[in-house]
Amino acid sequence: MTSNYITNPDYLYRIPKPLYLIALFNSTGITLYSRTVKTKSIDVDKIPTQVISGIITATSLVMKEGFGEGAYLKVVESTRHTLLFSVRGELTAMILAEQPSYFVKKSLDNFLKFIPDDLVKKLEESTTNVDKETSDVLDRYLVKAYPYIVFS
């Protein structure tokens, strides 16, 4: 069984199942930022964010073409894992988890809300991974949104 390291036992009810990865993608599917969650007995560094990014981009294009502008992925479920998505403008935040709770989804939405408009615009226009300074800023918003998780 896999479990997460949490910062405070009072948060245990929020994440009954493990979380693995949080990432930000732009509209072209480039992974701009990602953080793995510290877990036991699984090597989260082996999760291929670029492959996930390609799948998300392809599926999103099919949805937009078939269902029109504004049609976004919200959830992709497999038998063991779930990808949750939240969208703000041209940015997509994603979390990979096992059976995510309401609090996990709400925290993902909050992560995007915490990012200031000027930084969102900068990220939307970016074509590469963010620099160290921007990554540090995003880390602060991520910890604010997920105060109950220890990130690797």
139's tokens: 């880390």
Query: Is residue 22 within 8 Å of 135, Cβ to Cβ?
Result: no
Span 48-62, pLDDT tens digits: 666 677 777 777 677
Tokens of 148: 């109950």
pTM, to two decimals: 0.78
pLDDT tens readout for residues 133-143: 999 999 999 99
| Burial of 124 per CB tally in 10 Å (0-12, 13-18, 19+) | middle
Let me know if 98 is exposed, middle or buried by CB neighbors in 10 A (0-12, 13-18, 19+). middle
At residue 109, the 3 state secondary structure works out as helix
pLDDT value at residue 119: 95
pLDDT of res. 109: 95
Q: State which amino acid sits at residue 7.
A: T
Contacts of 39 (CB under 8 A, 6+ apart): 2, 3, 4, 5, 18, 19, 20
Q: What is the DSSP string of 38-87?
A: PBSS--GGGS-HHHHHHHHHHHHHHHHHHH-TT----EEE-SS-EEEEEE
What's the CA gap between 152 and 35, in Å, rounded? 7
Per-residue pLDDT of the chain (152 residues; tens, 9 = 90+): 444 444 444 444 455 567 888 999 888 778 899 888 766 555 555 666 666 777 777 776 776 777 777 767 787 787 888 888 998 988 989 988 887 888 889 999 999 999 999 999 999 988 888 999 999 999 999 999 988 777 76
